[in-house]
């Protein structure tokens, strides 16, 4: 007697057309091809992380990239100032330091970050005076720049001696002195009285060689030395 066997019926194979959705636009039908689950969860994790990141760094107390930059520069300053030895805010010291290109390059970043609002990125002046010409209102010699930075000028510029240490203000003074004679992209009209060239204040026999080859940076502070 023949055995009764159930027919071998295979499960229906899903056609590629079965994945087509009813949504159609401009003759093109949408294809049902969901993203991999790991991609979806990665996107979800990134989304929720962004909420916390925004709340802390943009709306909360988290440090901005500018804060982190200033902190890094401040640490660099402390390290480099140790190599300068004892320096004084006199004409000879400021003229020597302004010739150290590496050092002035480091100070330039702090000048742009803290002084450019008043004096322009290149020292050409804005609401503050132009620092690149030969006419100055409160300075007659290099060491006067230090005095202006440290003590300020009335209500137009606050004193920085309570915020910056003396070596930092000396370096910043040297950078301001180095701007004289440069040609900024934007410069306002000269103000004040023409003063002698810096060379007249150099010590006899001083070729304005840099006092050190180590880089250094000044602390934050806007100057109105002109």
CB-neighbour burial class of residue 78 (10 A; exposed 0-12, middle 13-18, buried 19+): middle
Q: Is 60 exceeded by the pLDDT of residue 2?
A: no
| Structural domain count of the chain | 2
Q: How does residue 13 score in pLDDT terms, banded at 50, 70 and 90?
A: low
Cα 185 to its chain centre, rounded Å, is 19
Clarify whether residues 40 and 151 are in a common domain. no
Q: What is the pLDDT of residue 40?
A: 92
The pLDDT assigned to 14 comes to 57
Average pLDDT over residues 115-142: 91
| Helix axes of 166-178 and 142-151: crossing angle, nearest 10 degrees | 130
Could you tell me if 195 and 115 lie in one domain? yes
Q: Please name the residue that has the structure tokens 């007249």.
A: 200
Query: 133 and 93, same structural domain?
Result: yes
Q: Do 122 and 192 have their domain in common?
A: yes
pLDDT for res 30? 76
CA 198 to chain centre: 29
The answer to whether residues 173 and 139 belong to one domain is yes
Question: Is the predicted pLDDT of residue 12 greater than 70, yes or no?
Answer: no
Distance between CA 136 and CA 177 in Å, rounded? 11
**Is the model's pLDDT at 206 over the cut of 50?**
yes
Tokens 């803290």 identify what position? 114
pLDDT of residue 44: 94
More reliable by pLDDT, 117 or 194: 194
If you average pLDDT over every residue of the chain, what do you get? 79
Q: In the chain, what percentage of residues exceed pLDDT 70? A: 78
How many C-alpha atoms does 142 have within 13 Å on its Cβ side?
A: 30
- What would you report as the CA-atom Rg of the chain, rounded to the nearest whole angstrom? 33
Given this model, what pLDDT does residue 50 score? 93
| Residue closest to 131 by CA, chosen among 48, 44, 225, 38 | 225
Q: What's the average model confidence in pLDDT over 73-80? A: 68
| pLDDT higher than threshold 60 for residue 58 | yes
- Together in a domain, 51 and 105: no
Residues 141 and 176 in one domain: yes
- How high is the pLDDT of residue 219? 39
Residue 153 and residue 99 share a domain: yes
Per the structure, the complete domain to which residue 46 belongs is given by 16-57
3-class secondary-structure state, position 45: helix
Same domain membership, residue 24 and residue 48: yes
Q: How far apart are CA 81 and CA 45, in angstroms?
A: 45
Residue given tokens 């301001």 in the structure block: 176
Residue 112, both tokens: 């742009």
Predicted confidence (pLDDT) per residue in 148-186, tens digit: 999 988 888 888 888 888 888 898 899 999 999 999 999
Q: State the pLDDT at residue 3.
A: 54
User: What would the mean pLDDT of 41-49 be, rounded to a whole number?
Assistant: 94
Cα–Cα nearest to 84, from 71, 94, 69: 94
């Amino acid at each position: 007697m023949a055995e009764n066997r159930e027919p071998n019926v295979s499960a229906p194979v899903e056609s590629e057309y079965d994945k087509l959705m009813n949504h159609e636009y401009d003759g093109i039908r949408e294809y049902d091809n969901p993203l991999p689950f790991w991609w979806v969860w990665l996107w979800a994790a990134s989304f929720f992380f962004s909420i916390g990141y925004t709340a802390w760094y943009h709306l909360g107390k988290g440090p901005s990239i500018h804060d982190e930059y200033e902190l890094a520069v401040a640490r660099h300053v402390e390290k480099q100032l140790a190599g300068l030895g004892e320096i004084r805010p006199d004409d000879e010291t400021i003229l020597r330091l302004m010739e150290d290109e590496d050092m002035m390059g480091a100070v330039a970043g702090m000048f742009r970050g803290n002084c450019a609002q008043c004096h322009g990125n290149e020292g050409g002046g804005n609401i503050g005076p132009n620092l690149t010409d030969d006419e100055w209102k409160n300075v007659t010699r290099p060491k006067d720049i230090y005095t202006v930075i440290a003590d300020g000028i009335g209500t137009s510029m606050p004193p920085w001696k309570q915020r910056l240490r003396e070596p930092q203000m000396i370096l910043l003074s040297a950078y301001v002195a180095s701007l004289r004679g440069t040609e900024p992209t934007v410069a306002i009209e000269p103000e004040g009285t023409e003063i002698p060239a810096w060379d007249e204040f150099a010590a006899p026999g001083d070729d304005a060689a840099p006092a050190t080859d180590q880089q250094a940076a000044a602390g934050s502070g806007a100057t109105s030395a002109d």
